[in-house]
Structure 1
Amino acid sequence: MYLPETMVSLPFILLLFAVLQAPSSSLHSKSGDREELLQFKEGLSDPLGSLSSWNSSNADFCRWAGVTCSRRHPGRVVSLSLPSRDLGGTISPAIGNLTSLRKLDLRSNMFYGEVPHTIGRLHRLRELVIQNCSLDGEIPQELGNCSNLMGLNLTINQLKGRIPDALGSASRLQYLSLGYNNLVGGIPPSIGNLSSLVILTLYQNNMDGTIPEVLSHLNHLQRIQVARNNFSGTIPPLFFNISSLQRLGFGSNKLQGSIPPDAGANLPILKELHLGNNRLSGMLPSSLANATNIQVLSVARNRFQGRVPPEIGKLCPPRVELGGNRLEARNDEDWEFLRSFTNCSRLQLIDLTGNNFGGMLPGYVANFSRQLQWLGMGENQMSGVIPPGIGNLVNLIYLEFAGNNLQGVIPEEIGRLQNLKSLMLQENRLSGQIPSSLGNLTQMLTLALSYNQLDGSIPKSLGNLERLTSLNLSSNRLTGGIPGEIFTLSSLTDFLSLSGNYLSGVLPPQAGSLKHVAHLDISRNNLSGNIPEALGDCENLVYLTLDGNFLTGGIPRSLGNLKALSILNLTRNAFSSSIPRELGKITGLQQLYLAHNNLSGSIPLILGNLSALIELDISYNHLDGEVPSSGVFSNLTGLSILANDGLCGGIPELRLPSCHVKPHNKQRQLSLMILLPVVLIVTSLLLLCSVLFLFKGKITVGKMKIPSLYKIDEKYPRVSYNELFHATDGFAPANLIGGGKYGSVFKGNLSLSASENDATVAIKVFNFHQSGSFRSFMAELEVLRQVKHRNLINIITSCSSIDSRGNDFHALVFKFMPNYSLDKWLHPGADEQWHKLSLVQLLNIAVQVADALDYLHNNSQPSIIHCDLKPSNIMLGSDWTAYVADFGISKLVGESMDRYMSSSGNSVVIRGTIGYVAPEYGESGQVSAAGDSYSFGITLLEMFTGRAPTDDMFTKGLSLHLFAEMAFPDKISEIVDPTLVQPFDNDARLDTALACITSALRVGISCSKKAPLERMSMKNAAVELHRTRDSLLEEYFV
């Protein structure tokens, strides 16, 4: 019996489909996502060998590093997790073919380029984390297709453009973190569709517009952080009705309007309220007291006015930031909120500075919790006295009552505050003497007592403040001599100001010990005698003002050694003799005031060559001779030469008499006729000898085995001396950006190819006069041609030629680093308004430098020892990427450099930098990787303590290593740079930050041990620092 045809074909087709499908499934289980993974790996740099198991010979790709496969569907990758592996390159679009992927974690690597649009194909993806890389471009719209996405973290990159509207389609999204990028535009209203959103972080971008009201409908939101943008308009009131909120961060924007009266009524679990640095106004609502779990109340630097509700004081948050508003207090009732704070045992910070608080300073400020670390009440209108009981607040780090009307004396009891680092009492009406007990405050960094009515002498005990960086006692009624102990405070880096007092006596020779201070002002006193020659040793001085004294003698020639000097004011003294021409060596000098003295002689012509000099006042002296016509002398605006009757010439606008030139008599003409031929003959003979000598030198050099200096980057042509000369405006001082023993570094604009515009480059010119400079040039060139790592300085090309005078000319051309060196950021000058680097930035730099040294030691062929690592040899790119530079004394292990130096006859002497060089280098001269570990360890300690190893506090056996080792681990908070922990605004985050700093210092201490065999290797140091940085990022930015 035959069945109908249709009944035969259907089962047969189903059976055939199953048979054909089985081999296919089996085949896929064997190959699976393997090809996609190999495509992802292709083109990536992998200095740590993290992907060494990813190869075609290892068939079981599910066991490859970072890969997790599905149990239900063998061969399908469900998780790719490769955090902190130092992987570099672009992320392959092939990643979008891993269609079973649920988790993609590539955080803390060196990826650059765009986020692949193909990730939008990953419909099963739940978590995408690519934070702390160098990604640029825009966020792909296609990410909105990831319908199962629950977490998206792209913080700390260089992403630009707008947040795509399409992200609002990822309806299951619970956290969205896009902070620390370059995003622009507004927040898309579509984000309001993400009803499951718990965390929204857009911190520190360039976004603007208003805060969409629809975001206030996100009823599950726990943390919103959109600070440090340019948002304007008002805060939607319904945000204060989201009962799940724990952190509300709208600080540092341009927001206006007021806080709703019932703002705190519906925020039962709010812990942090950050509204500071905006334009908010109105009254502070008393309803905030209902947010009983709040730990941080930050509304500083707004336009709030009126009295502070007394209920706020009962809230007892550990941190209260109300400074920079228009808040008022006139009587005891208005101060009631402050009285309530005396019952707060957790109180750590009170900032009331810059308001309109008046009346008497309440005496009960001395009754605050002993846990209080920060008390700021400056820039108000308070009167009364500083209560002696303030000395009971033994944990105070910062105390400010500046800019009030306080009277009375400075309490001796302040000397009990052993942890105090800043005491700001300036601009009051305090009287009496400076308490000698202040000399007990050995942790003090800043002491400001200026603009008061203090009298008596300066206590010698202030010489005990060995960590002091700024001392300002100006505009008081102080008398007597300046204690020599003050000038032994080599820790002074910012300023020492004693101006506007009645100090007498002479400037002691110890003044030359202030080698790090930038601003020295002792003007308007009664000092006499000479300026000590030793003052010329203060090489970091930027401002030197000694005007309005009775100083005598000549102006020391040693002042010409002050290369960093910008302003020199010596007016209204009794200086005699001539103006030293050595002042013309201060190339950065902008203002020079020498008026009202007894100076004589002519004006040094070299002053006209100071291109930076814009103001010169030499009036009311006894100068004579011709006035120069160049530089500052060519412009009446910045020049004053009044009351110098002997001056002549100059530009016509000065209306000075002409300078008379004596006519030549016949006898002189006859002498010239005889002498001139003789001089010409002698000069010719000397010139001939010089040419022969140089020619002989060229032959000698020519016999050396110098490798051909091929261009490093094939797309750039070799450059000539003339090109570099024009690129730097003739190697002008204005383009000088650095220098060292073997040469100088200039900034220049150079055309690198015919198709490109001029590029900004750094040009390192080697000093042919300095012995060893050619060896340094060849060593650096050889090293940089052999290595390639993302965190090593990138050389573009080189030049080996003859300059305009016929001398050897050698130069290396690098990409210009707009953020200069790490040293500039660790120790900025007083005139450099550079912010301090954040903890995250420092950890990133530490990781990158460790990776670079690990590569040199373990992954370069041959291995390379840097030999001179220090902050000034760590350059920072525009994206804050760190680059190790200056390989002039590096050593290639296992490969002799003698072939570049055979003619010199001298062996290579390895020299590092004092403070950073390993101790054994001075004993045996034998270099090793452990020597680099030592230098790195010292650099690491410097980064996190803010103390250089050459700081003058490190004497009598105390070193930076020992300083950190003695504090480790229980007293780390006492030695850490305080600016690193200030941004961490609650206990938990502060603890995390201190834990990370402790871990970093542990690495620094381990690397800088005296015995080479006991030091941590750079490979292990890199691993530890990666772990430390990632723990901070996970806590703070996720």
Structure 2
Amino acid sequence: MRVNNISGNIPLEIGNMNKMKLLYLSENNFLGKILESIGNLRLLTELDLASNNLQGSIPPSLGNCQNLLLLNLSTNNLSGNIPPEIAGLSSLSIYLDLSHNLTGSLQKEVGKLQNLGELRLDKNILSQHIPSSIGSCISMERLYMQDNFLEGPLPSTMRSMRGLRVLNFLNNRLSGQIPDFLGSLNLTNLSLSYNDFEGALPTRGVFVSSISTSIVGNKKLCGGLPDFQLPKCDYEESKRRRTSETAKVLISIVSAIIGVASMLSLLYFFWYKHNNKASTSRASQDGLLHVSYHSLLKATGGFSSTNPLGMGSFGSVYKGLLDQTQSIVAIKILDLTRHGASKSFIAECEAPRRIRHRNLVKVLTACSGFDFNGNDFKALVYEFMSNSSLDEWLHPNASQYMARSKLSLLERVNIAIDVACALDYLHHQCEMSIVHCDLKPSNVVLDDEKNGHVGDFGLARFLPEAAHKLLIDQSSSIGVKGSFGYVAPEYGSGSAVAIEGDVYSFRVLVLEMFTGKRPTNDMFENGLNLHHFAKAALAGQVQKVIDPLLLQENQEWEKSQTVAPDGKNTSWFSILECLVSIIDIGVTCSSESPRERIDISDALTKLKGIRKKLLEFIIIA
């Protein structure tokens, strides 16, 4: 219900909806406090109350929502500290946004957000030091804390945050030297401007580029590479200062170690034992999808070659059984050595959380962390589709051909309608229009009833105007590549992303479904392609391009069924008329000029009309 003009208090009755999983009320005019009773929604995975006029403190009861993957309370009139119950929600993995709200300090419990990918605390009134516990957030990729009143040095424990890509501490009161370890992280954007840092600027990693790193407004900095135009360092003065500070630190450390070493060891033992037991208990009680590298490794039998479901552009998909829910899922493991894989992961997290449709594959959760060797690890967990991909039905290998029945004409029409419904939703019914950019049979999967579901949003893009509204920077994201044979020709000449590109891919898919030929078939050469092949057949020869399996189905059907339910005689010409209409849809969607292609909603209307006609004279067993 977001982006409306709903006003007044949030209804109390929402707290009774104990099966609620997604709740979006952002960009309205809600007043009053955040309901304590929202904490009753134990199955809640995403909560977005941003951009309202909510007041008061964040209710600690939200800590009861231990399935929560995403929490956005930004741009309200909230006050007070971040409750430890919220900072300690280890389930949070997509992002936590509390910007434009709070006062107080950052609590040490923030270190419990070990699975969180993005944390936004910018434009608050947070003061005091950054707790050293933040170094435990090893999965964090983006940390925004600009425009606060944070003091002191950056904690040395941040060297453990190897997943960091974006770090923004602009306009605070941080001091001390800029740590050299920041140069060893995989940062792509670092902003430390308008603080009180001093000393030599590091010269490696992100500090190589003055475009990626912003340090203006720190008047005591020196050195660095020439692009930063800083004065040379007085190393003698710096050496004396560092010696004095080091001595003080060593004295403090030795005293602390002597006093508390044994106590810490004992506390850690009990803490580990308690949390391990509690985590197991929660997982068994509420089916919580707290997936880790270890749990996915176990679910797939060590990513065994006996459990593969397919291979994508950026990784492999495995069938797995999750211990937490005892449910079968599809697990996509990103191959991070492939160019664009990390950005594909971000796209697949960003697009699905803004969409929900029966003909789109549901992303259950995501995992971003490290494997047992300390290497970056990213994975996505999808709902499992028992009938695999459309590609495997259209082009089965020998074993699949023997094990499966064939897709009938009506089933193919239904799947085409399902895909068109999904695209119509993405293009015209979403809050922000999305272009899939990689539509092909291997990215369409079938459930138990052979309903089609569009998946793999690794190349998906918001339309430029939508991306601008969402403040999403797509300039550095994956280039529009698509798959050879399916990608629209205008993309090859540098045209911007548009829904017409998906329409072009849809026509290729439709033609492939009903001719049984891939666009990359060896027969297509010397200027002949699937489009020209189908278009030429519209002149009274459609039966020559139709998949032979469909022709065989018609012959078998006519032998066993000669009269339709309404008593009318059926004939090959009625079936042929439908096939001509279908091929015509595939051809008219594929015009070289994007402006001449029919809209996906028009194609959907025509396909539904074809299905209605088929049902008039096909007897369904």
- TM-score norm. by structure 2 comes to 0.51
Q: Which residue of 1 aligns with 2:323?
A: 751
How far apart are residue 963 of structure 1 and its match?
0.3
Q: Which residue of 1 aligns with 2:289?
A: 717
How far apart are residue 697 of structure 1 and its match?
5.1
**CA displacement 1:665-712 (0-9 Å, x = unmatched):** xxxxxxxxxxxxxxxxxxxxxxxxx9999985545269599xxxxxxx
How far apart are residue 900 of structure 1 and its match?
7.0
Q: Which residue of 2 aligns with 1:734?
A: 306
- Measure, in 1, the Cα distance between the counterparts of 2:443 and 2:184: 33
2:605 is the alignment partner of 1:1023 = yes
- Measure, in 2, the Cα distance between the counterparts of 1:793 and 1:957: 36
Q: Which residue of 2 aligns with 1:821?
A: 389
Conserved? CA contact 2:344–2:478, under 8 Å: no
Q: Which residue of 2 aligns with 1:812?
A: 380
Conserved? CA contact 1:964–1:1005, under 8 Å: yes
Conserved? CA contact 2:343–2:477, under 8 Å: no
How far apart are residue 869 of structure 1 and its match?
0.4
Alignment CA distance shift 1:881-1:767 (3 Å): same
Give the SS at the match of 1:789: coil
2:342 is the alignment partner of 1:774 = yes
Q: Which residue of 1 aligns with 2:505?
A: 935
Give the SS at the match of 2:351: helix
- Measure, in 2, the Cα distance between the counterparts of 1:1008 and 1:737: 30
Within a 5 Å distance, the mapping from 1:194-213 to structure 2 comes to none
Conserved? CA contact 1:969–1:998, under 8 Å: no
How far apart are residue 908 of structure 1 and its match?
3.6
Conserved? CA contact 1:866–1:887, under 8 Å: yes
Q: Which residue of 1 aligns with 2:615?
A: 1033
Alignment CA distance shift 1:827-1:1031 (3 Å): same
Conserved? CA contact 2:433–2:466, under 8 Å: no
Amino acid corresponding to residue 394 of structure 2 in structure 1: L
2:357 is the alignment partner of 1:789 = yes
| Equivalent in 918, 926, 951 of residue 521 of structure 2 | 951
Conserved? CA contact 1:851–1:1022, under 8 Å: yes
How far apart are residue 989 of structure 1 and its match?
3.5
Alignment CA distance shift 1:696-1:738 (3 Å): farther
Conserved? CA contact 1:821–1:876, under 8 Å: yes
Q: Which residue of 2 aligns with 1:1014?
A: 596
Alignment CA distance shift 1:781-1:831 (3 Å): same
- Measure, in 2, the Cα distance between the counterparts of 1:693 and 1:955: 57
Alignment CA distance shift 1:818-1:702 (3 Å): farther
Alignment CA distance shift 1:724-1:816 (3 Å): same
- Measure, in 2, the Cα distance between the counterparts of 1:907 and 1:789: 25
How far apart are residue 815 of structure 1 and its match?
0.9
Seq. identity, %: 41
More helix by share: 2
How far apart are residue 873 of structure 1 and its match?
0.5
- Measure, in 2, the Cα distance between the counterparts of 1:719 and 1:907: 26
Conserved? CA contact 1:910–1:925, under 8 Å: no
Within a 5 Å distance, the mapping from 1:126-137 to structure 2 comes to none
How far apart are residue 1025 of structure 1 and its match?
0.2
Conserved? CA contact 2:467–2:473, under 8 Å: no
Conserved? CA contact 1:981–1:993, under 8 Å: no
2:429 is the alignment partner of 1:859 = yes
Q: Which residue of 1 aligns with 2:332?
A: 764
- Measure, in 2, the Cα distance between the counterparts of 1:928 and 1:771: 23
2:464 is the alignment partner of 1:896 = no
Q: Which residue of 2 aligns with 1:881?
A: 451
Q: Which residue of 2 aligns with 1:391?
A: none
Q: Which residue of 2 aligns with 1:657?
A: none
Within a 5 Å distance, the mapping from 1:523-562 to structure 2 comes to none
Amino acid corresponding to residue 531 of structure 2 in structure 1: H
Amino acid corresponding to residue 807 of structure 1 in structure 2: N
How far apart are residue 851 of structure 1 and its match?
0.7
How far apart are residue 744 of structure 1 and its match?
1.0
Alignment CA distance shift 1:943-1:819 (3 Å): same
Amino acid corresponding to residue 294 of structure 2 in structure 1: N
Give the structure, 1 or 2, with the largest relative contact order (CA under 8 Å, sep 6 or more): 2
Alignment CA distance shift 1:694-1:735 (3 Å): farther
Give the SS at the match of 1:746: strand
User: For structure 2, which runs of at least 5 residues remain unmatched after alignment?
Assistant: 1-161, 164-178, 192-211, 213-285, 563-568
How far apart are residue 1033 of structure 1 and its match?
1.1
Alignment CA distance shift 1:830-1:922 (3 Å): same
Alignment CA distance shift 1:828-1:695 (3 Å): farther
How far apart are residue 740 of structure 1 and its match?
1.9
Amino acid corresponding to residue 850 of structure 1 in structure 2: A
How far apart are residue 717 of structure 1 and its match?
2.9
Point out the structure with max Rg over C-alpha: 1
2:469 is the alignment partner of 1:982 = no
Alignment CA distance shift 1:927-1:884 (3 Å): same
How far apart are residue 743 of structure 1 and its match?
1.0
- Measure, in 1, the Cα distance between the counterparts of 2:180 and 2:301: 31
Conserved? CA contact 1:843–1:1025, under 8 Å: yes
How far apart are residue 882 of structure 1 and its match?
0.4
**CA displacement 1:117-138 (0-9 Å, x = unmatched):** xxxxxxxxxxxxxxxxxxxxxx
**CA displacement 1:341-388 (0-9 Å, x = unmatched):** xxxxxxxxxxxxxxxxxxxxxxxxxxxxxxxxxxxxxxxxxxxxxxxx
Within a 5 Å distance, the mapping from 1:164-243 to structure 2 comes to none
- TM-score norm. by structure 1 comes to 0.31
- Measure, in 2, the Cα distance between the counterparts of 1:742 and 1:908: 12
- Measure, in 2, the Cα distance between the counterparts of 1:973 and 1:694: 68
Within a 5 Å distance, the mapping from 1:586-601 to structure 2 comes to none
Q: Which residue of 2 aligns with 1:839?
A: 409
Conserved? CA contact 1:716–1:796, under 8 Å: no
- Measure, in 2, the Cα distance between the counterparts of 1:848 and 1:994: 22
Alignment CA distance shift 1:751-1:992 (3 Å): farther
Give the SS at the match of 1:791: coil
Amino acid corresponding to residue 542 of structure 2 in structure 1: I
Conserved? CA contact 1:775–1:900, under 8 Å: no
Amino acid corresponding to residue 311 of structure 2 in structure 1: G
Q: Which residue of 2 aligns with 1:700?
A: 187
Alignment CA distance shift 1:696-1:836 (3 Å): farther
Give the SS at the match of 2:306: helix
**CA displacement 1:289-335 (0-9 Å, x = unmatched):** xxxxxxxxxxxxxxxxxxxxxxxxxxxxxxxxxxxxxxxxxxxxxxx
- Measure, in 2, the Cα distance between the counterparts of 1:763 and 1:703: 33
Conserved? CA contact 1:761–1:816, under 8 Å: yes
Give the SS at the match of 2:486: coil
Q: Which residue of 2 aligns with 1:871?
A: 441
- Measure, in 1, the Cα distance between the counterparts of 2:288 and 2:428: 30
- Measure, in 2, the Cα distance between the counterparts of 1:1014 and 1:977: 27
Give the RMSD, CA atoms, in angstroms.
2.8
Amino acid corresponding to residue 434 of structure 2 in structure 1: I
Alignment CA distance shift 1:1002-1:1017 (3 Å): same
How far apart are residue 906 of structure 1 and its match?
4.2
Alignment CA distance shift 1:846-1:868 (3 Å): same
Amino acid corresponding to residue 750 of structure 1 in structure 2: L
| Equivalent in 518, 524, 542 of residue 972 of structure 1 | 542
Give the SS at the match of 2:397: coil
